[in-house]
Amino acid sequence: MKPPPLLLAAALLFWGWQTDFFLVSLLLALILESARVTKARWEFSDDDFARLWTFCTLLFLGTAVYAFTANEGPSHYLSFFENPTPSNTSGVGNASAQAAAAFFRWLPITFFLFVAAQTFSPRELIPLNTIDLIMRLRWKRDARLGRPLPPPRGVNVAFPYFAICLFSASIHEPQPNTEYFWGVCALLVWALWTQRSVRFGSVIWAGALLLTVGLGFGGQYGIIQLTGYFGRMNPQWLSQFLHRQKDQSQSRTAIGSIGQLKLSGKIVIRVEPRIGAPPEYLREASYRQYRQPVWLAGRSREDFDPVTPDASTSTWRLIPGKTNSAAVQIGCYLEGNSALLPLPETCGQIENLQAYSMRKNSAGSVRVEGPGVLEFDALYGPGAMIDSPADGSDMNVPDNEMAALDQVISEMHFTNTNSLAARLRVVNNFFQDKFTYTLWQPRRQAASTNETALGRFLLQTRAGHCEYFATATVLLLRQLKIPARYAVGFSVHEKSGAGYVVRLRDAHAWCLVYNPATDTWQDFDTTPASWVAEETRHRSTFEWAGDVWAWLKFQFIKFSYGQTHLRKYLLMGLGPVLLLLLGQILFRQKRARRRAPGPTPVPVIWPGLDSEFYQIEKKLSARCGPRQPNEPLAGWLERATTAPGLQKLRPPLRELLRLHYRCRFDPPGLSAEDRAALRRGVGRLLETLGEN
């Protein structure tokens, strides 16, 4: 069955109108309708149709992958499986819906080439075995083994393509009107009217169709009303399930906690130097006020100022006009799509950063919102910093810590140490000589009610992790009237290929010291250098396997967020394959292939095709007119025998039709006796028809 003229063109235009692809749909419709004007036809073989179907299948899979990755589907699913919070669940649903919408909206484009091949081919039907891979493989196997082949079956792909156009047209923005509904109804009535059965009158058929349309409209109206009802409901009752982001204005230390500090070897940052040596530290934030066991940002908590990128670029200038002598590429995760960036402390400019927004504060923190993973270039060098100069809040010391600090200062013996560098050297030597690094804190009985965890570290245990050393150093310097701040971030030290990897166990705390001579802050780390070896000593034997998985995960997430060129390379790699298939189909030369002749396939005769009853059907068709399409054989016989002189043949014809149906459709078929009866009855009726 062929679709009526202009039906496919109308369906394509309707799809383009609903999905905002009207120019594309107009071009496709003109190409299909040009087949009615031009007489040019291409003689496509079965193998050509099979290659075209393979081409469309590859295009189908390629668009699916592209739609899924373009809408950040992989990263949302990965986040969901790692942390199945309501927020991540919502992200998975949104990404899946957006990817599916884009994919289904492109289906008419994806399969257009196959439909165009049928349109410009002299064939009305395309062999089904060119589409069905299983059937194709069975045919090739049977032909190779010399088995009988079933009769070929064909399919007109115009109607399936028509259905695809209507389905893809439904993927559009919600509309307040019913244009889509009435458009689909008009196209379906147009298509079904030409294929209606003659068994039912036009009035009955039209009435059934109108009833169906009415029920469909009522159902659509009900769904719209129900959707509006739920949309008007107050959704705030869901707020109790939402994930609350961690407050970035404070750093809670493990000072005072007992037991082993657990560390992870998970890779969280990748660093690759571009110009110069890599930075020793990547700072995320600094804090000013200490209230055991928490460091607070103080007035820096709310003083974030926006940073705008250069026009039409991904360059963000933290310090305009600064000359940066070094550069490093940093790749990191952005947990919750909003977090602090790990940066060199003197970073003045960030390039190739695909972020949504950026803010900086006076404590040297840079906060961005963006995709789940970022890869950018940080440019830095000596000179200006985004940190504010020292003020009174950088000199505060808790009263309950002063006694221990004064006792330690008296032990240091500051003599002839008036310069800042000399004082820092004394403090550093004191910690390096008299303290040790450890991740274990035993349970100890407090000597007095006024004893603090930091005081016990300074006067008794003299062993702890970086948070102890950084906190003690900051408060000691402040007690010496030297402005200082508590900094947190990561230490960069582990080489990996051309760059460095930073693990969770490389998270570090150190001291920032204000230098009034240069009006800048400088790093000052008194933690014993053995801390790196101590933390590495606890790593797992199979850490390398986790590193491989972390690298694959990082590349995959970068790909899903468009942070790499892999998607472009994928499409570039798929293009030549598709062009090669088209070249083989359209421009291949016919070549004689020298092959040994194989056995000639023996055609299969389907049961009942040799029934003698077909002779009667042929005779009656010539006399009373042919059977109409979709008209049952029994109904046609009743109509044919109404002619003058044939009414008396109705009973024997019914008996012969019963035997014919058994011969055609009954699996056991007819017995020899019944087959002989069919043959004799047909002979007698033919003689009677000849006499009449």
Task: Evaluate if residue 52 carries a pLDDT over 60.
Answer: yes
Q: What is the pLDDT of residues 441-463, one digit of tens each?
A: 777 655 566 788 999 999 999 99
pLDDT of residue 281: 94
Closest CA to 487 of 358, 359, 350, 343: 343
pLDDT of residue 591: 41
pLDDT confidence bin for 531, thresholds 50/70/90 = confident
**Between residues 447 and 155, which one has the greater pLDDT?**
155
pLDDT of residue 654: 85
Instruction: Spell out the domain ranges in the chain.
Output: 7-173+570-581, 250-256+264-539, 613-691
As a whole number of angstroms, the distance between CA 537 and CA 583 comes to 61
Farthest-apart Cα atoms in the chain, separation: 142
pLDDT of residue 1: 59
pLDDT confidence bin for 56, thresholds 50/70/90 = confident
Q: What is the pLDDT of residues 157-173, one digit of tens each?
A: 888 888 899 888 888 66
Find out whether 636 and 628 touch, Cβ atoms under 8 Å: yes
Span 55-81, mean pLDDT? 70
Q: Are strands 463-464 and 436-437 parallel, antiparallel or unpaired?
A: parallel
Dig out the tokens for 535 from the structure.
């933390």
Q: What is the pLDDT of residues 312-351, one digit of tens each?
A: 678 999 998 898 999 999 988 887 778 889 999 899 999 9
pLDDT confidence bin for 596, thresholds 50/70/90 = very low
pLDDT of residue 237: 32
Find out whether 345 and 364 touch, Cβ atoms under 8 Å: yes
Report the share of the chain in percent with pLDDT over 70.
76
**Between residues 662 and 628, which one has the greater pLDDT?**
662
pLDDT of residue 425: 92
Find out whether 197 and 628 touch, Cβ atoms under 8 Å: no
Calculate ∠ Cα 33-34-35, nearest 5°: 85
The residues, any chain, with a CB within 8 Å of residue 551's CB and separated by 6 or more, are 267
As a whole number of angstroms, the distance between CA 686 and CA 613 comes to 10
Q: What is the pLDDT of residues 532-543, one digit of tens each?
A: 887 777 676 667
Task: Return mean pLDDT, the chain.
Answer: 78
Q: What is the pLDDT of residues 455-509, one digit of tens each?
A: 999 999 999 999 999 999 999 999 999 999 999 999 998 888 889 999 888 889 9
pLDDT of residue 458: 93
Which of helix, strand or coil describes residue 385? coil
- What is the 3-state secondary structure of 276-297? CCCCCEEEEEEECEEECCEEEC
Dig out the tokens for 561 from the structure.
């967020």
Q: What is the pLDDT of residues 346-358, one digit of tens each?
A: 999 999 888 888 9
Report the share of the chain in percent with pLDDT over 90.
21
pLDDT of residue 428: 94
Span 646-663, mean pLDDT? 84
Task: Evaluate if residue 589 carries a pLDDT over 50.
Answer: no
pLDDT of residue 93: 62
Task: Evaluate if residue 284 carries a pLDDT over 60.
Answer: yes
Element (H, E) at 203: helix 202-231
Task: Evaluate if residue 248 carries a pLDDT over 60.
Answer: no
As a whole number of angstroms, the distance between CA 335 and CA 339 comes to 6
Dig out the tokens for 391 from the structure.
């003020």
The residues, any chain, with a CB within 8 Å of residue 29's CB and separated by 6 or more, are 8, 9, 10, 12, 13
**Between residues 174 and 359, which one has the greater pLDDT?**
359
Lowest mean pLDDT among 267-271, 300-304, 406-410, 648-652: 300-304
The answer, as to whether pTM is greater than 0.75, is no
Handedness of CA 566, 572, 575, 577 (dihedral sign): negative
Dig out the tokens for 21 from the structure.
């692809």
Q: How many residues does the chain have?
A: 692
Which of helix, strand or coil describes residue 485? strand
